[in-house]
Amino acid sequence: MNIACSPWLKLRETLTPEDRDQIEDLQMRCGRAEPVALKLELDYKLAAALNRPEDSAIRDVNEFLYFDGQRLAGYLGICSFGGPGMLLEATGMVAPEERRRGIFTTLYRLALAEGRRRSSAGMLVLCDRKSDAGRKFIEKIGAAYHHSEYEMVLDRDWEAPDRSKLRGVTLRKATNADAREIAGQDSVYFSDEAPESEAGPGADRPDVPSGEIRLPEEEEKKGFVIWLAERDGRSVGKVNLELGSGSGGIYGLGVKPEFRGRGFGRSILLQAVEKLKEANAKKILLQVAADNAKALNLYTSCGFCETSTMDYFKADL
Distance between CA atoms of residues 222 and 49, nearest Å: 8
Chain Cα centroid distance, residue 111: 18
Phi and psi angles of residue 60, each rounded to the nearest 5 degrees, phi first: -120, 145
Quick: pLDDT tens for 79-108.
876 555 578 999 999 999 999 999 999 999
Is residue 134 within 8 Å of 127, Cβ to Cβ? yes
Is residue 49 within 8 Å of 23, Cβ to Cβ? no
Average pLDDT over residues 40-54: 77
Quick: pLDDT tens for 152-173.
999 888 888 888 889 999 999 9
Is residue 281 within 8 Å of 247, Cβ to Cβ? yes
Number of Cβ within 10 Å of residue 111's Cβ equals: 25
Distance between CA atoms of residues 113 and 108, nearest Å: 9
Is residue 186 within 8 Å of 58, Cβ to Cβ? no
Phi and psi angles of residue 68, each rounded to the nearest 5 degrees, phi first: -115, 100
